[in-house]
């Protein structure tokens, strides 16, 4: 009965062989596993700062959205808090305003000029109202200005030149206002 083979009974040597194989697997796979873990940790440590940065950005964005929603829901309270802060820190508010103006001086001047050009009558009326509220200011200012004879002489010369120019332009048929607005 050669074709009939009975299963071999596990011998002591098989158990030892299996134990050795398991030990070898463990021995040879442990460095592989450790190498894999080391590669993963290195890769993860490179990704960790990016992940942390992204998490912080997401947290800031969520906090900003929450704050925006709260501010919208409590607009009156926000205005009151800001008003109290401005009253308590008037010097800082002035400093912020000065710094902002210094940074954007040309833009502010351009915006003011455009508004005056759009509404000249409004500005003339505002000037008349100011003069009526401050009657002695312009006379006092003129008196102080004329105390310096050189400055006063320069002002008179400038006025004479302006009048000469206006007359010359009038004889040519060009209105002085058109020249000023064109330039």
What is the C-alpha to C-alpha distance for residues 135 and 133, in angstroms, rounded to an integer?
6
Q: Which two tokens stand for residue 8?
A: 């071999």
Confidence of residue 182 (pLDDT cuts 50, 70, 90): very low
Q: What is the pLDDT, as a whole number, of residue 2?
A: 55
Average pLDDT taken over every residue of the chain: 85
pTM confidence score:
0.39
Residue 109 sits at φ, ψ, to 5 deg, of -65, -40
What is the C-alpha to C-alpha distance for residues 131 and 83, in angstroms, rounded to an integer?
31
What is the C-alpha to C-alpha distance for residues 177 and 174, in angstroms, rounded to an integer?
9
pLDDT exceeding 90 applies to what percent of the chain?
A: 50
Indicate whether 71 pLDDT > 50.
yes
Indicate whether 92 pLDDT > 80.
yes
Q: What is the pLDDT, as a whole number, of residue 53?
A: 83
What is the C-alpha to C-alpha distance for residues 114 and 118, in angstroms, rounded to an integer?
6
In the block, tokens 């021995």 appear at 27
DSSP 124-151: HHHHHHHHHHSTTHHHHHHHHHHTSHHH
Tell me what the mean pLDDT of segment 152-163 comes to. 93
Report CA 81 to chain centroid distance, whole Å.
Answer: 22
């Amino acid at each position: 009965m050669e074709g009939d083979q009975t299963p071999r009974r596990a011998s002591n040597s098989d158990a030892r062989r299996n134990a050795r194989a398991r030990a070898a697997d463990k021995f040879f796979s442990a460095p592989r596993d450790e190498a894999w873990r080391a590669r993963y940790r290195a890769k993860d440590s490179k990704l960790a700062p990016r992940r942390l940065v992204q998490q912080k950005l997401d947290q800031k964005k969520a906090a900003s959205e929450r704050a925006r929603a709260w501010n919208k829901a409590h607009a009156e309270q926000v205005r009151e808090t800001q008003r109290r802060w401005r009253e308590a820190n008037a010097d800082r508010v002035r400093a912020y305003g000065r710094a902002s103006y210094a940074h954007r001086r040309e833009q502010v001047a351009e915006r003011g000029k455009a508004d005056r050009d759009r509404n000249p009558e409004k500005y003339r009326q505002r000037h008349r109202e100011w003069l009526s509220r401050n009657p002695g200011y312009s006379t006092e200012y003129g008196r102080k200005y004329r105390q310096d004879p050189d400055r006063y002489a320069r002002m008179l010369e400038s006025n004479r030149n302006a009048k000469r120019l206006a007359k010359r332009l009038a004889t040519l048929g060009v209105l002085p206002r058109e020249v000023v607005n064109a330039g």
